[in-house]
Structure 1
């Protein structure tokens, strides 16, 4: 399904959370689709099942997946619900990155062009919600 960087300083469970979120947001994993079981994914990625479980708990806390006892975990069809606290955090992080980009000499036009390219490639924005 995807690969993790075992040499990265970023914890494996965080990498897993990010990859799963990316798959969900890009609709590779469809709403109400079952995600791989902890055991299956642990075998596939050759990592500890507890790491997978921790990542799934985090995804559930963030509202990207939900669990049904005895059945497994599934993609939450309401993952697009806007969480104001999450939006606030993302805007703060984005502000820091934009200021850094401007400081090192990336022009405003380059930033705008990058955003527009990402928007058209990902199909983001309110029009597609």
Structure 2
């Protein structure tokens, strides 16, 4: 599910957060799916439950999951992802695209990659329905 790299400069909670976000975005965790409890995930990763709690809280603030008291945490619908995260990702996208163009990639190559990503997402959505 999630793998941690102790040589990574990022804090463990960010690695957990990024791993869970990736699972939600790729469809491995579907909207409404229950995430492992804080204690269960902490135990399986052999880390402190507070680290998992911090990752869950951050993902909830970003709109990737929601928590129901006494029931657990669940993957949120895509419309729940907040605009701040979207704007941040678009800024990263613009910077990356500009650098790729500088390094010799053509606009057509970037367009093809974007279309391929959209097709993969559409297939994932079809498979989930």
TM-score range, shorter chain: 0.7 to 0.9
Q: Which one has the bigger helix percentage?
A: 2
Question: Does 79-88 or 63-72 show the bigger shift?
Answer: 79-88
Equivalents in 1 of 2:106, 2:53: separation in Å? 42
**1:16-35 per-position Cα deviation (integer Å, ceiling 9, x unaligned):** 11221221122222222210
User: TM-score, normalization: structure 2?
Assistant: 0.83
Structure 2 residue matching 1:35: 3-state secondary structure: coil
Secondary structure of 2:30's aligned partner: coil
- The CA deviation at 1:37 is 0.7
Distance change >3 Å, CA 16–CA 95, structure 1 → 2: same
Normalising by structure 1, report the TM-score: 0.83
Deviation of the 1:4 alpha carbon: 2.0
Q: Is residue 64–residue 81 contact of structure 2 (8 Å, CA) maintained in 1?
A: no
Alpha-carbon distance change, 123 to 10 in structure 1, aligned in 2, over 3 angstroms = farther
Q: Distance in 1 between the 2:32 and 2:107 partners?
A: 40
In structure 2, list runs of 5 or more residues that go unmatched.
Answer: 124-129
Equivalent residue, structure 2, for 1:99 = 98
Q: Following the alignment from structure 2 to structure 1, what is the Cα–Cα distance between the partners of residues 16 and 58?
A: 10
2:69 alignment partner in structure 1: 69
In the TM superposition, what whole-angstrom CA distance separates every residue of 1:48-81 from its partner, at most 9, and x where no partner exists?
Answer: 21110100000111111111222221122x3334
Count of matched residue pairs: 123
Partner Cα distance (1:74, 1:3) in 2:
20
Instruction: Give me the whole-angstrom Cα distance separating, in 1, the residues matched to 2:83 and 2:68.
Output: 26
Report the counterpart of residue 126 of structure 2 in structure 1: none
